Structure 1
């Protein structure tokens, strides 16, 4: 299983993105359109108009990773927002990749523990 534990934040590009763009095109989009640093330890997630394909751009050490996911059936529950990007947690990204909504009501809330006893 692929894990992306080094990513500090996850940004979703709201709306649809032309997924014919490759690494350079998506990195320019992150920098110029979103005002974010594509070399930061973040994941940048893009979705096509039909919401059945995703690309995730990630910088690691000396180069970019570009992950691509295509659903054979169904669509991603892509959020609608007037903002250019939405910041989500890695847990919420996992929900999105599994076909779930970002606003899960059945999920257990995060617990902050201060002591064992």
Structure 2
């Protein structure tokens, strides 16, 4: 796995027809997070069986996609904060299908999905 300066999980489900530009627009318009810093931004679909990871690799944006065949990602859904900061360990656990629920949310600012 790539080592990133920060890893952010966007809690709300997103329309998975969105690709790089649409996901980048969510981060730019709804958070104060540094989009071009090399940080990883994780998104999931409504069914929680797919994850997209957006990041800037110094030459452009890259997008990873992972789909679970028979399980769902253990995504935080009842917490108030819309964005969470994850450790490398939590990212590995999440992508392996384990729970990360119960970790601390990153304080950004209040915003709503559009």
Report the TM-score when normalising by structure 1: 0.81
Larger radius of gyration: 1
Matched, 1:36 2:36: no
1:103 and 1:91 map into 2 onto residues whose CA distance is: 13
Moved more, 34-43 or 18-27: 34-43
Matched, 1:76 2:70: no
Deviation by residue 1:74-110 (Cα, 9 ceiling, x = unmatched): 1000012211201110110100001101159xxxxxx
2:41 and 2:9 map into 1 onto residues whose CA distance is: 6
1:88 and 1:27 map into 2 onto residues whose CA distance is: 19
After superposition, the CA RMSD in angstroms is 1.3
Secondary structure, counterpart of 1:16 in structure 2 = coil
Provide the residue aligned with 1:45 in structure 2.
42
Secondary structure, counterpart of 1:56 in structure 2 = strand
1:12 and 1:29 map into 2 onto residues whose CA distance is: 12
| Structure 2, unpaired ranges of 5+ | 103-114
Secondary structure, counterpart of 2:56 in structure 1 = strand
Report the TM-score when normalising by structure 2: 0.83
1:52 and 1:89 map into 2 onto residues whose CA distance is: 21
| Structure 1, unpaired ranges of 5+ | 105-117
Provide the residue aligned with 1:17 in structure 2.
14
For the Cα contact (< 8 Å) 1:43–1:58, is it kept in 2?
A: yes
Provide the residue aligned with 2:94 in structure 1.
96
For the Cα contact (< 8 Å) 1:11–1:85, is it kept in 2?
A: yes
